[in-house]
Amino acid sequence: MRADAQRNYDRIVEVAREVFREHGYDASLDLVAKRAGVGPGTLYRHFPKRENLIDAILQSWVDKVTDTADKALAYEGDDRDVLLNWFERYVELISQHKGGPAKITSAMGDPESPIMTKCQVLANANARLIDRLREDGALREQVDTIQVCRLVGGIATVADQSDLDVTAVRPLLEVVADGLLK
C-alpha cells in the first residue's frame, strides 16, 4: 500500500473508532469520511462494507482480549468469583462501543460474519476459562463455550441498549454463573 493510502486507511480507522464510540456501529459512514478528511469513495475503496471497517477497528482489540483472559485465568478466588470476574471483563471487552455487544454477540458462531475471526478470539478466550473450570469439576456437563458467549453477550446487549450501569449488570451475571456451576 502506498504511504498516502496507508495514512488514509489509518486515519479512517482512528476516526471510525471515535465515531462508533460516540454514535454506535450504525453511525453514518459519511460522517466517518468527513471527519477523516477523505471522500466517501476513499472510505469505500478501503472498506467496501461496514463490517470490513468494524473488523479493522476490532483488530487492536484482539490483543486486549488475550491479555484480559490471561489476567482472568490468574485471578484468585473460588470458582464462582473467577467466573464472575471473567464475565465482568467479557462485558467490558464487548461494550467499548455503543452497539458493540449486539454486533459481536450476533456474529458469534456465524462463519459467514466478516468479524468472525475477532469473535473466535473472544470465544477462545472464553473457552480457556470454561475449560479450566471444567477441569476443576465446577461446571455442569452441558456447558458450551459459544452458548456462554451468547448468554453473557445478551446481558451486555441489554445493558448497552438500556444504559444500565455495572451495579445493575452484576446480578444478571450472577444468575448466569449460578446456572453454569454445579
Q: In this predicted model, what pLDDT tens digit does every residue of 74-123 receive, in sequence order? A: 999 999 999 999 999 999 999 988 888 999 999 998 999 888 888 999 99
Domains and CATH numbers, the chain: 1-48 (1.10.10.60), 50-180 (1.10.357.10)
Q: 27-66 pLDDT, tens per residue?
A: 999 999 999 999 999 999 999 999 899 888 877 788 889 9
pLDDT value of position 88? 97
- pLDDT-above-70 percentage for the chain: 100
| Stronger pLDDT, 127 or 117, i.e. the higher one | 127
Taking the CB of residue 113, how many other CB atoms lie within 10 A of it? 19
* pLDDT score recorded for residue 153: 97
Cα 113 to its chain centre, rounded Å, is: 14
The predicted structure's pLDDT at residue 98: 84
CA diameter of the chain: 57
Which carries the bigger pLDDT value, residue 166 or residue 173? 173
State yes or no: pLDDT of 70 exceeds 90: yes
**What pLDDT, on a 0 to 100 scale, did the predictor assign at position 96?**
85
1: pLDDT strictly greater than 80: no
pLDDT at 174: 98
Buried b or exposed e, range 75-99, using 16+ CB within 10 angstroms: eeeebeebbbbbbbbbbebbbbbbb
